[in-house]
């Protein structure tokens, strides 16, 4: 499985933007980049995913490097409720041998200060 | 529109007993996944099922663990003869998948198993 590398932890102040980086230098052409987050004592929650182009949704934006070897999850205005562990995951296409198997690394622990 | 429902939320078993964890996927979802999160560790994939079929069980321990997703009813993760090392949070997820959909997984809130 292609691996991702994320910083262990990051801190932010409330109302400020947060940029969470992820390196995936061995990404294959068919891998999608997915981001999930896990709030304390809860199950993971989908945040966003993309293939090549930058993506926006109501939760966040995903900026993907042109060579796809890295990506950045952007929270435009952090709130206290955004404090969580953020996971960057590469996922195979449907029908791919490892499609069903998301590999969660250690993720980035985001702390948001009031 | 209920999310993924897992029960029980908390389960206590003594060593040697059986644990059964249930997962009802979101309405219309036919794909179910089980993950385990040991204390202070990340989530580990266990098994991926579609209705009546196991698609990928590469993360399941070879002994004592089994999973099913019958035509009717919830998916069941069964752990026989539990040991203390089985104490963990077990998360179920479901997805709506078609050949062209790389859709998100919707996770339940987990079942926390404690083995005494």
pLDDT in tens, A54-72: 999 998 999 999 999 999 9
Q: Which of B56, B100, B104 sits opposite A46 (nearest CB)?
A: B104
pLDDT in tens, B36-79: 999 888 899 999 998 889 988 999 999 999 999 999 999 999 99
A102 touches chain B (CB under 8 A): yes
A104 touches chain B (CB under 8 A): yes
* Residue B41 neighbours by CB under 8 Å, 6+ apart: none
pLDDT in tens, A5-57: 999 999 999 999 999 999 999 998 888 999 999 998 899 999 999 999 999 99
Cβ–Cβ below 8 Å for A94 and B43:
no
- Per DSSP, chain B holds a count of helices (H) and strands (E) of 0, 11
Nearest residue in A to B39, CA atom: A41
pLDDT at A97 (0 to 100): 67
How near does any CA of chain A get to the CA of B16, in Å? 27
Long-range contacts of A59-68 (CB under 8 A, 24+ apart): A60/A35, A62/A33, A62/A35, A64/A33, A68/A24, A68/A27, A68/A33
């Amino acid at each position: 499985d292609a691996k991702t590398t994320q910083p262990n932890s990051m801190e932010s102040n409330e109302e400020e933007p947060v940029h969470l980086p992820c390196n995936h230098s061995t990404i294959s052409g068919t891998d999608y980049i997915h981001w999930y987050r896990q709030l304390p004592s809860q199950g993971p929650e989908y945040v966003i995913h993309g293939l090549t182009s930058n993506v926006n949704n109501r939760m966040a934006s995903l900026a993907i490097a042109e060579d796809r070897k890295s990506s950045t999850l952007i929270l435009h205005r952090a709130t206290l409720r955004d404090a969580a562990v953020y996971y960057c995951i590469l996922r195979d296409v449907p029908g791919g041998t490892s499609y069903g198997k998301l590999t969660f690394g250690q993720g980035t622990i985001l702390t948001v200060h009031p | 529109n209920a999310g993924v429902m897992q029960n029980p939320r908390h389960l206590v078993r003594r060593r040697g007993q059986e644990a059964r964890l249930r997962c009802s996927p979101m309405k219309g979802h036919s794909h179910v996944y089980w993950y385990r999160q040991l204390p202070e560790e990340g989530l580990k994939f266990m098994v991926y099922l579609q209705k009546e079929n196991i698609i990928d069980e590469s993360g399941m321990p070879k002994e004592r663990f089994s999973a099913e997703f019958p035509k009717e009813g919830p998916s069941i993760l069964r752990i026989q003869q539990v040991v203390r090392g089985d104490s963990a949070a077990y998360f179920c997820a479901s997805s709506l998948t078609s050949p062209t959909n790389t859709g998100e997984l919707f996770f339940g809130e987990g079942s926390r198993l404690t083995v005494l």
